[in-house]
Amino acid sequence: MAIATLIAAGRLDDRLIDRALGLLREVDPGASFSHWIDEGDAADLSFDGDLRSARWALETIEAVDVIVQPDEPRWRKLLVADMDSTVIDQECIDELADFAGLKDRVARITDSAMRGDIDFGRALRDRVRLLAGIDEREVRRCLDERVDVTSGAQTLVQTMRAGGASCLLVSGGFLSFAEPVARTVGFDRVKANRLIFAGGKLSGEVGDPIVDATAKRDALVDAREELGLRHSDVLAIGDGANDKLMIEEAGLGVAVKAKSALVEVADAELKHHGLDALLWAQGIRRREWFRA
């Protein structure tokens, strides 16, 4: 048995559910309404059949997020999350580049790297080299003035932590940003690249080893094994091509407002809601969510 969770906060009604059931019954004629998670916001449908076929059928419903997954396990015990454009709304390196008047040039490289058009490690080193000379105080100022936590991120992470899950922030960005973000949002683990400073200014170099797609996947595997968890216990979220390996490694891999290269390999896509919607995907009612 499998579950398709329909999410349309404040808009989910019988009409949308009936439409979804009509589409899902093309995959399984016996598909049925299971229950409301939160009436008007999120509901579960039950079916048997191919998960990917069900996903593609249901994603034709406009402005509704759909999470299709096996019915067990529902609750995940490890969350692994990308940072830039996932847990925060920005790409930190692009915002840093703005201080140096190089945002357009750096952002073009970032975009190519996130689409998977160029090697991530090479793209990271090329971009950091362009930022040589930026004062360490400007890095802190960039964090304070430019970085915003994505809607629902703190609720997702702290609700999962309260339920006993571990939460890992793993980023191809920088510890100078990732560590403060992790503290604010509530992650208990963090892995990211290290900027090198010389005389209080960026040297233009980044420390080895580079946290790339392989390192992200390895961090997921290491955390999973350390905690003694199964593949199916892991939820991973990201937005770019360098998240593909960790998304594929997770029991439930979700692309968040993502590049097409990631959407193609993910188990689900979140396009219309904040990250807290992933609590509905785990069957958690709103009244049980963490409130900041």
- What pLDDT digit, counting tens, does each position of 110-130 carry? 888 778 888 888 888 989 998
Distance CA 283, CA 273 (A): 16
pLDDT at 159: 98
252-256 and 268-270 beta bridge pairing: parallel
DSSP string covering 39-52: TTTEEEEEE-S-HH
Distance CA 24, CA 205 (A): 51
pLDDT at 279: 98
Residue 99 CA neighbour count, 13 Å, CB half: 20
Indicate whether 180 pLDDT > 70.
Answer: yes
pLDDT at 53: 96
pLDDT level of residue 292 (50, 70, 90 thresholds):
low
Distance CA 163, CA 182 (A): 18
265-284 b/e with 16+ CB inside 10 Å = b?
ebbbbbeebebbbbbbbbbb
Q: Are 249 and 230 in contact (CB under 8 A)?
A: no
- What pLDDT digit, counting tens, does each position of 142-179 carry? 999 999 999 999 999 999 999 999 999 999 999 999 99
pLDDT at 271: 97
Which of 84, 233, 239, 276 is an active site residue? 84
Q: Which of 47, 22, 5, 16 is nearest to 285 (CA)?
A: 5
- What pLDDT digit, counting tens, does each position of 21-78 carry? 999 999 999 999 999 999 999 999 999 999 999 999 999 999 999 999 999 889 999 9
| For the chain, domain boundaries | 1-72
Q: Do you find a cis peptide bond into 180, omega within 30 degrees of 0?
A: no
Residue 18: how many other CB atoms lie within 10 Å: 10
Q: Choose which CATH entry (1.10.1200.30, 3.40.50.2020, 3.30.1490.120, 3.30.70.260) describes domain 1-72.
A: 3.30.70.260
Structure pTM? 0.94
* Mean pLDDT for the chain overall: 95
Indicate whether 187 pLDDT > 90.
Answer: yes
Is 208 a known active-site residue? no
Instruction: Fill in the amino acid letter for 269.
Output: E
pLDDT level of residue 269 (50, 70, 90 thresholds):
very high
pLDDT at 200: 94
Distance CA 23, CA 57 (A): 6
Which of 41, 44, 65, 82 is an active site residue? 82
Is 84 a known active-site residue? yes
- What pLDDT digit, counting tens, does each position of 80-115 carry? 999 999 999 999 988 888 877 888 888 888 888 778
- What pLDDT digit, counting tens, does each position of 199-256 carry? 999 999 999 999 999 999 999 999 999 999 999 999 999 999 999 999 999 999 999 9
